[in-house]
Structure 1
Amino acid sequence: MSPAEKDAVEAFRRDVVEPSMSQLVLLYFTATWCGPCKALGPVIDKVSAEYAAKGVVLAKLDVDKSQFIASQFQVRSVPTVYAMFQGQPVADLSQARTESQLRTMLDQILRQLPVTGEAQSAEAELEPLIAMGEEVLAEGDGERALSIFDQLAEMAPEHPAVAAGRVRALVALGRHDEASAAIDALPEEAAKSPAIVQARAAIALASDAVPEGDLADLRARAAAAPDDQAVQYELAGALMAAGDHQGAADTLLAMIAADRDWNESAARQRLLTLFEAVGLEDPWVSAQRRRLSAILFG
């Protein structure tokens, strides 16, 4: 190995291999004479800067100045982009030529690898605090839960789990308008997260809440008119708002079994809202989905 090649290897170890032990290094092979590189360069610069807090580092190598390294990677054309982690190429990103394509590929990679960045460190710090807020909320102390999530929102205002916890605390306190406004204020991407979808469903459920005495009267009317879909639908909404998820599901499933198309499938839509509020990954929801499938396709 020539002195120049040794220098290239040492630079590669310093600039690519060592950072890749904990971060994701985008190894970008380029050339001054490469037309497509002139288009990709600003894109990869922008996206890698956006993802820096998530542990993404950009390393550029000119194939003319780094022929030895390029040959080791069998680079036959430029631009060529590899994602490197722990000293090994883990993905070929060469076909990602737009910001959207590059972000999509990076998101997929980062979900699969234990990359360490500021965002991941911040997430690790937030997790136990979010869990504490959720525990307090589950215990029924809405005021204290809201206080916890308000403090977390100052640290991470757009974090989906923080925003969702704060919204559900507002719902628990009956402050539905504030809860809706908090969701409306979120960026579009954050508003699509499962946690926010669940929080939005919680608002929808709470809108059907009735006083305990009225709920007892509603139960009696529904029992006296089992074929009255409108009354059964009203009861299901009230049960959902009261937290009687099983009672609501049983009522809605019975409605669907009797007339799945009633009021443009309103019972099924309300059942799906209940599933979202409970959480689509919850085992209870999975069990109710099986019951629904048996009715629809059995």
Structure 2
Amino acid sequence: MSPQENEAVEAFRRDVVEPSMTKLVIVDFWAEWCGPCKALAPVLEKVAADYADKGVVLAKVDTDKNQFIAAQFQIKSIPTVYAMFQGQLVADLTQARTESQLKAMLDQILRQVPVESAESQTEAELEPLIAMGEQVLGEDPARALSIFDQLIAMAPDHPAIASGRIRALIALDRDDEAEAAIAALPEEIAGLPEIERAKSALALKQDAEPVEDLSGLQAEVAANPQDLDARYRLAGGQMAAGDRDAAADNLLAIITAERDWNEGAARDRLLKLFEVTGLEDPWVSAQRRRLSAILFG
């Protein structure tokens, strides 16, 4: 290679290949005389800036000044836009000419490659704090709310933090504030599983009415086990009292007696209880096995 080609290769290695070891690099092959290149440039620059925290960077390669590099990539026309990660081309972005098209393609790529980003670093820092808030929530909802309030100031649109805060409000009987918090959520996170868990917690709280005399209702059910309405009310009272084991036992008893009783009300309430507890929780796994044995055994 000539000295100029060596220099071009070193520049490409420094500006494109090395950053791609941890980042997703958008490589824009362009030239000064290319009108479409100039039209596309602001779109690429804006998207790269918007996605900087996600680990995306933009590198521009002038094909007139870097003919050797362009030849290595077999550039036949410009603009040509590639995505590179860890020194390898991972996508051809050339057909993405609008901001929305480009972002859609980047979103898809970022789900598949382990890009190092500010977001991933922040997530790693938040994860143990969220776990602490979740642990405290079952013991001291007021303290949990304080933890989630501090975390949401750091990451306002984090679904797990928003969910924890909403469930802490529910545990503190501040249902109106929980409803307002759900209504104020950004559309992009409102339907995520973490938020659905919080919504289920609120629905379950509003559905499970406290029972003043649980022992009396228990005696009523014991005397007439086939009174499914009384058993359902007992399960609601037990949930309101925080006795999920007894509530699950009664809901499963209803499903055993009459699978579709009251349009599947017992099963729906049980599934909400699972979602609120957390689908990965060992208790939920055990209850799911009991439910499966009833439904499919």
| Fold in common (TM above 0.5) | yes
Q: Which residue does the alignment assign to 2:173?
A: 174
After superposition, where does 1:149-160 map in structure 2 within 5 Å? Answer: 149-160=148-159
Structure 2 residue 15 is the aligned partner of structure 1 residue 11: no
Please identify, of 19-28 and 67-76, the stretch whose mean Cα deviation from structure 2 is larger. 67-76
After superposition, where does 1:78-157 map in structure 2 within 5 Å? Answer: 80-93=80-93, 102-138=102-138, 140-157=139-156
Please identify, of 273-282 and 123-132, the stretch whose mean Cα deviation from structure 2 is larger. 123-132
Q: State TM-score, norm by structure 1.
A: 0.83
CA contact (8 A) 1:207 1:241 kept: no
Check 1:180–1:64 CA distance in 2 against 1; reply closer, same or farther (3 A cut): same
Unaligned runs of 5+ in 1: none
**Counterparts of 2:77 and 2:258, CA distance in 1:** 62
**Deviation of 1:121 (Å):** 2.6
**Deviation of 1:103 (Å):** 3.9
Q: Which residue does the alignment assign to 1:241?
A: 240
After superposition, where does 1:258-273 map in structure 2 within 5 Å? Answer: 258-273=257-272
CA contact (8 A) 1:54 1:118 kept: yes
Please identify, of 88-97 and 280-289, the stretch whose mean Cα deviation from structure 2 is larger. 88-97
- Any idea what SS the aligned residue of 2:213 has? helix
Q: Which residue does the alignment assign to 1:284?
A: 283
CA contact (8 A) 2:209 2:236 kept: no
**Deviation of 1:53 (Å):** 1.0
CA contact (8 A) 2:200 2:276 kept: yes
Check 1:23–1:228 CA distance in 2 against 1; reply closer, same or farther (3 A cut): same
Q: Which residue does the alignment assign to 1:72?
A: 72
Amino acid at match of 2:22: S
**Counterparts of 1:95 and 1:244, CA distance in 2:** 57
- Any idea what SS the aligned residue of 1:58 has? strand
**Counterparts of 2:278 and 2:237, CA distance in 1:** 19
**Counterparts of 2:39 and 2:258, CA distance in 1:** 58
- Any idea what SS the aligned residue of 2:185 has? coil
Q: Which residue does the alignment assign to 2:24?
A: 24
Q: Which residue does the alignment assign to 1:183?
A: 182
Check 1:220–1:282 CA distance in 2 against 1; reply closer, same or farther (3 A cut): same
**Counterparts of 1:24 and 1:155, CA distance in 2:** 25
**Deviation of 1:48 (Å):** 2.7
Amino acid at match of 1:226: P
CA contact (8 A) 2:30 2:80 kept: yes
**Deviation of 1:185 (Å):** 0.7
**Counterparts of 1:76 and 1:236, CA distance in 2:** 70
After superposition, where does 1:219-234 map in structure 2 within 5 Å? Answer: 219-234=218-233
CA contact (8 A) 1:209 1:242 kept: no
CA contact (8 A) 2:54 2:119 kept: yes
CA contact (8 A) 1:43 1:99 kept: yes
Q: Which residue does the alignment assign to 1:252?
A: 251
CA contact (8 A) 1:160 1:196 kept: yes
**Counterparts of 2:274 and 2:101, CA distance in 1:** 32
**Deviation of 1:2 (Å):** 2.6
